[in-house]
């Protein structure tokens, strides 16, 4: 079963622990699409960042920018997008949002300039699905997956990231964005919830932000 052809490229975003990779994999398997998963576990700066954020923030964000750009540039091309549908568990703008939270002002200004050049070379998603979860649920997911370097992530850090994402979602006018409130959604263990998300992603959405709750799922 293929998703709506209006969305050959669907990207899934959300805070740390939102379930982006899990949902992307489930949808890609059911719809037989190409799957792009972020290769963040190979980043040697990540554990160092969580131990000393100020020291390692800039090299971390630069390494992520390079890795994400190279992966998306390789995986996405206009020609390939006409041949098969694609689901990704991130968008390149994620780089800028995390940099805004993690970098000092002067570092962020430099980063913005580099990002502005890079993002123009990449295909935008036809639909962006943002998974919103309360911080308590995010922390539960983070603890359950058990990555040692993530266990010290504070609620304040997650809240800061969440607000940065919200600012982006509410001001982006050139993307079709669905913000799905996942507070009471369990797409892993509840087939009805997963099917509701599948049905949602076949609906036509205009440019801008569309907020959906569990009761709104088709």
- Which tens digits make up the pLDDT trace of 34-46? 999 998 767 888 8
Walk across the sheet containing 86-88 and list its strands: 34-36, 86-88, 9-14, 127-132, 176-181, 208-212
Give tens-digit pLDDT for 15-64: 999 999 999 999 999 999 999 999 876 788 888 998 898 999 999 999 99
Residue of 80, 89, 104, 156 marked active site = 89
Window from 5-9, 60-64, 146-150 with minimum mean pLDDT: 5-9
**CA–CA gap between residue 92 and residue 118 (Å, rounded):** 9
Asked whether 61 and 95 are in contact (CB, 8 A), the reply is: yes
156: annotated active-site residue: no
| In the chain, domain spans | 9-37+46-216
Q: For domain 9-37+46-216, say whether CATH 3.40.50.300 is its number.
A: yes
Q: What is the mean pLDDT of the chain?
A: 92
Phi, psi (degrees; rounded to nearest 5) at 209: -95, 135
Using the predicted structure, report yes or no on whether residue 156 has a pLDDT greater than 80: yes
């Amino acid at each position: 079963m293929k998703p709506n052809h209006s969305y050959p490229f669907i990207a899934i975003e959300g805070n740390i622990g939102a379930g982006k990779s899990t949902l992307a994999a489930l949808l890609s398997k059911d719809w037989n699409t190409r799957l792009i998963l972020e290769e963040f576990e190979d980043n040697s700066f990540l554990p160092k960042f969580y131990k000393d954020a100020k020291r390692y923030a800039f090299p971390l964000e630069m390494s992520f920018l390079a890795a994400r750009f190279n992966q998306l540039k390789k995986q996405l091309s206009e020609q390939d997008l006409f041949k098969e549908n694609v689901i990704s568990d991130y968008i390149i703008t994620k780089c800028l949002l995390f940099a805004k939270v993690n970098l000092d002002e002067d570092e962020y200004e430099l980063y913005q300039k580099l990002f502005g050049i890079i993002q123009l070379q990449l295909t935008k998603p036809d639909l962006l699905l943002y998974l919103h979860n309360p911080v308590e649920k995010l922390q539960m997911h983070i603890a359950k997956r058990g990555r040692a370097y993530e266990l010290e992530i504070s609620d304040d850090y997650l809240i800061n990231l969440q607000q940065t994402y919200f600012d982006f979602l509410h001001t982006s006018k050139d993307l079709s964005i669905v913000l799905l409130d996942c507070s009471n959604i369990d797409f892993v263990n509840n087939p009805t919830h997963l099917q509701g998300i599948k049905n949602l992603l076949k609906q036509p959405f205009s440019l801008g932000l569309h907020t959906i709750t569990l009761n709104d799922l088709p």
